A and B are shown apart, each in its own frame.
Chain A
Amino acid sequence: MFAPGTVVRVKRDFPEMRGRCHIRTPHYLRGLDGVVERPLGAFPNPEDLAFGRPAAPVPLYHVRFEQPALFGEGRGGDTLLVEIFEHWLDPAPAAGAA
């Protein structure tokens, strides 16, 4: 579980390059860092649900991103809030650890 305020990194993974899949993690966030705003409960994994497979509940988080960093445009201070499932998130490496 990630507590609110935790800096997380969205996995830089592209399962759509490997075959049929159903993913609720937007492409434009893969590999980027955000901050956990709050947990939103747990929901059946849509990646299994979409194919009629047994779908275990996975924790879902509201994660906040700095908007200008996403596309290299926009106004500093603007943000984006996105629902992301836990298995797409890793703790971000500590600042300076590269």
Chain B
Amino acid sequence: MAAPPSAESIALLERFVAALKARGVVTEEEIATQIARTDRAGPEIGARMVARAWTDPAYRRLLVEDGTAAAEAMGVSMAGAPPLGVLADTDRVHHLVVCTLCSCYPRQVLGYPPHWFKSSAYRARAVRDPRGVLAEWGTALPEGVEVRVVDSTADYRWMVLPLRPAGTEGWDEARLAAIVTRDALVGVALPRAA
């Protein structure tokens, strides 16, 4: 999907990193640590947090009140990361996350953002025509549910806590986590009992 980086942009990045190192802003090791941390992260972390919230009311309260603490409770290092906000869907409100200004994304718990999340088309349309975007994803909301678009513009990173779907009664956390997809964690899709 994304074109490989051009020689020009790689050279620009190298000059930028050299300037940051020369000024003592970052070290090579800090950059490597951060890349390794992001490489290890993926949406299965967010999925485990959601599954635990579905089965553990105390964890659900923590997740909604303090996403950063809830992530750390799952063993995720949030040191130096922006605060994590969690948007709990209800039977009246469905959340959809976008960053219209750039591509802010809760990388510590979801990993790298997908290509489409960074695209101009998604960023423009999610705020202007959210129901059209959801329809194209094949996501149908029950009648009477409000769509609440969350434009991630500043210091928080946002993740959706979707509703637990019907038909999952008695499932354990691992089985529940398996139906919480990356797309459900930003609100373009809904978890389904497969």
Q: CB-CB contacts of B55-73 with A at 8 A, as 1s and 0s? A: 0000000000000000000
Q: Are B101 and A26 in contact (CB under 8 A)?
A: yes
Does B151 belong to the interface (CB within 8 Å)? Answer: yes
What's the minimum C-beta distance from A79 to chain B, rounded to whole angstroms? 5
Q: Are A25 and B153 in contact (CB under 8 A)?
A: yes
Query: Which B residues, 144 to 160, have Cβ-Cβ distances below 8 Å to chain A?
Result: 146-156
Q: Are B150 and A81 in contact (CB under 8 A)?
A: yes
Interface size range on B against A: 20 to 34
B98: nearest chain-A partner, CB-CB? A80
Please, how many angstroms separate the alpha-carbon atoms of A72 and B128 in the complex? 9
Q: Are B148 and A75 in contact (CB under 8 A)?
A: no
Q: Are A43 and B154 in contact (CB under 8 A)?
A: yes
CB neighbours (8 Å) of B151 from chain A are 26, 80-83
Does B88 belong to the interface (CB within 8 Å)? Answer: no
B93: nearest chain-A partner, CB-CB? A79
Q: Are B154 and A24 in contact (CB under 8 A)?
A: yes
Most chain B CB within 10 A, of A28, A40, A67, A73, is at: A67
What's the minimum C-beta distance from B19 to chain A, rounded to whole angstroms? 12
Please, how many angstroms separate the alpha-carbon atoms of A24 and B155 in the complex? 9
Does A36 belong to the interface (CB within 8 Å)? Answer: no
The answer, among A67, A70, A83, for a CB contact under 8 Å with B154, is: A83
The residues of A with any CB-CB pair to B shorter than 8 Å are 24-26, 28, 40-41, 43, 46, 60, 64, 67, 70-71, 73-75, 77-85
- 12 additional contacts, CB 8 Å, given A40-B155, A79-B146, A82-B150? A26-B100, A46-B154, A67-B149, A74-B130, A74-B131, A78-B131, A78-B146, A78-B148, A80-B148, A81-B151, A82-B151, A83-B152
The residues of B with any CB-CB pair to A shorter than 8 Å are 83, 85, 100-101, 127-131, 146-156
